[in-house]
């Protein structure tokens, strides 16, 4: 009996690791199609299927996300009972955040077209050329990481940190670890603050009702200001330290013109991508998240045709997509349970009680903006994902839109969340960096805390300026 039980668990584990993408794809594709068809009965069916999908995902989720999901589900269930709504309405509550999961599911295709075009290899050559001191290497590493992250997100951290680990092998471990965790994590947070493919940006744009075109210039300004400040600091702080690349890390010679051309191609593609998103959203009257979801795959495919890399794109894309989709259990648990909680909260008077203190401070908008920023920061220190935080904050601050410019709230929701990418001790980015460099995650948090406060502060003051 024990042997049979082990076999059953092994079969289940094998299916979760390799084939759960079939279940996820079926639910998400059905949801997206029904957005256009608009059959109400289908929405109830999708919500009903989302429940076993959520339960199965618990088996593959990490302990942290299991805890968050359980808290949202139990609290949501209590609130739903208090609301007095009919049971079938609960099914619709589980579909509320499926659009976010659909966006996450298609992101690997954009990553794959960048890899197929070998842009990642070309960009990393910039960090393999000799430089005279660590200050210059800091700036070069920051710019390279920033550019790659704009397209391939988390994958860029592994690439750039791997190159830096090789190139800095002659340095002491303490100096090497600090350098890598500062330059790569900070570039990560600055690059994604304006990216339409960043889930926090997509959520904030839809939640505040502020158009992406309206908020984009201010997010770019914040990113640029922070980037300049950080690179000036890095240039002078590390500039006094000489750098000698180890013999095994000296890169091949490369053409500066070729690299500039590659960067120009990347940003040309990004501008085109942004234009198509804005045009499609306006033409089809869709929300921002769904528009980005629909555009990514056809745009990536056409881009691969233009580069004559279709075969590589399909091969890399299919394999990457399956691996990433099979690993979505954490986000399925978080988003589906959060959707149930948020909708249940909206259906009860409890939401008004939570909103009351914020409404009482409506005359002090700067206090509210700083409170949002600090809420992100403090909760990230104990492992609460920014997406979970923003899910609650959105419900709380919505009534403030009549007193405070929604654009200002949107900016702080985004910058406050992205600042935690450098200090969230149990977050994905800090944990990944800790594993890659074999250093204590609390040390990464400590070294990046001044940057996170400055970054969030810049976002808050820009938001206050726009009130």
Q: Where are the domains of the chain?
A: 2-93
SS3 354: helix
Query: Quick one: pLDDT at residue 250?
Result: 47
* Residue 242, beta-bridge partner list: 133
pTM, 2 dp: 0.86
- What is the C-alpha to C-alpha distance for residues 386 and 83, in angstroms, rounded to an integer? 27
Considering only CA atoms, which of 165, 176, 179 is closest in space to residue 237?
179
Query: Quick one: pLDDT at residue 447?
Result: 92
CA distances from 1 to 6, 11, 12, 59, 187 (A): 9, 15, 17, 22, 53
Query: Quick one: pLDDT at residue 129?
Result: 63
Query: Quick one: pLDDT at residue 61?
Result: 87
Considering only CA atoms, which of 315, 220, 279, 259 is closest in space to residue 125?
259
- What is the C-alpha to C-alpha distance for residues 231 and 125, in angstroms, rounded to an integer? 20
Query: Quick one: pLDDT at residue 444?
Result: 92
The pLDDT averaged over each successive group of 10 residues in the chain (467 residues) is 56 68 93 91 92 91 87 92 88 90 89 80 66 86 86 78 84 90 94 90 90 93 96 92 68 61 81 89 85 92 91 91 90 90 85 76 85 88 81 84 90 94 84 84 91 94 91
CA angle at 452 for the pair 455 and 238, rounded to the nearest 5°:
95
Query: Quick one: pLDDT at residue 299?
Result: 93
Query: Quick one: pLDDT at residue 13?
Result: 63
The interaxial angle of helices 199-208 and 386-397, nearest 10 deg, is: 10
Considering only CA atoms, which of 113, 127, 115 is closest in space to residue 254?
127
Query: Quick one: pLDDT at residue 436?
Result: 82
Backbone φ and ψ for 76, nearest 5 degrees, come out as -65, -40
Q: Please give the span between the terminal C-alpha atoms of the chain, in angstroms, as a whole number.
A: 67
């Amino acid at each position: 009996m024990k042997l049979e039980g082990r076999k059953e668990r092994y079969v289940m584990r094998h299916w979760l690791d390799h084939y759960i993408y079939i279940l996820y794809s079926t639910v998400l594709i059905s949801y997206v199609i029904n957005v256009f068809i608009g059959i109400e009965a289908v929405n109830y069916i999708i919500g009903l299927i989302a429940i076993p999908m959520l339960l199965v995902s618990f088996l593959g989720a990490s302990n942290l996300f299991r805890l968050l999901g359980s808290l949202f589900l139990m609290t949501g269930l209590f609130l739903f009972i208090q609301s007095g709504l009919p049971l079938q309405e609960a099914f619709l509550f589980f579909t509320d955040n499926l659009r976010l999961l659909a966006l996450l599911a298609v992101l690997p295709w954009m990553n794959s077209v960048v890899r197929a075009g070998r842009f990642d290899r070309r960009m990393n050559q910039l960090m393999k050329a000799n430089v005279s001191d660590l200050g210059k290497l800091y700036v070069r590493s920051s710019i390279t990481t920033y550019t790659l992250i704009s397209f391939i997100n988390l994958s860029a951290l592994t690439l750039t940190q791997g190159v830096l680990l090789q190139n800095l092998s002659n340095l002491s471990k303490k100096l090497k670890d600090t350098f890598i965790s500062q330059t790569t994590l900070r570039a990560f947070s600055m690059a994604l603050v304006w990216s339409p493919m960043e889930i926090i940006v997509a959520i904030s744009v839809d939640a505040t009702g502020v158009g992406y075109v309206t908020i984009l210039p201010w997010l770019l300004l914040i990113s640029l200001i922070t980037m300049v400040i950080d690179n000036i600091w890095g240039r002078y702080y590390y500039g006094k330290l000489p750098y000698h690349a180890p013999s095994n890390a000296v890169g091949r010679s490369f053409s500066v013109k070729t690299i500039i051309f590659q960067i120009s191609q990347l940003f040309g593609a990004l501008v085109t991508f942004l234009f198509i998103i804005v045009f499609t959203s306006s033409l089809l009257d869709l929300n921002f998240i769904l528009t980005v979801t629909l555009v990514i795959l056809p745009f990536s495919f056409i881009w691969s045709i233009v580069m004559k890399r279709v075969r590589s794109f399909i091969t890399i894309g299919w394999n990457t997509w399956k691996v990433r989709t099979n690993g979505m259990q954490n986000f399925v648990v978080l988003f589906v349970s959060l959707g149930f909680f948020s909708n249940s909260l909206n259906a009860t008077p409890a939401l008004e009680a939570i909103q009351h203190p914020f409404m009482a401070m409506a005359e002090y908008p700067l206090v509210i903006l700083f409170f949002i920023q600090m809420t992100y920061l403090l909760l990230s220190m104990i492992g609460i994902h920014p997406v979970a935080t923003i899910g609650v904050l959105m419900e709380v601050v919505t009534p403030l839109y009549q007193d405070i410019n929604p654009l200002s709230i949107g900016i702080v929701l985004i910058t406050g969340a992205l600042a935690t990418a450098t200090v969230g001790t149990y977050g994905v980015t800090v944990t990944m960096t800790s594993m890659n460099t074999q250093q204590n995650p609390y040390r990464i948090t400590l070294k990046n805390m001044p940057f996170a406060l400055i970054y969030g502060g810049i976002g808050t003051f820009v938001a206050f300026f726009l009130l």
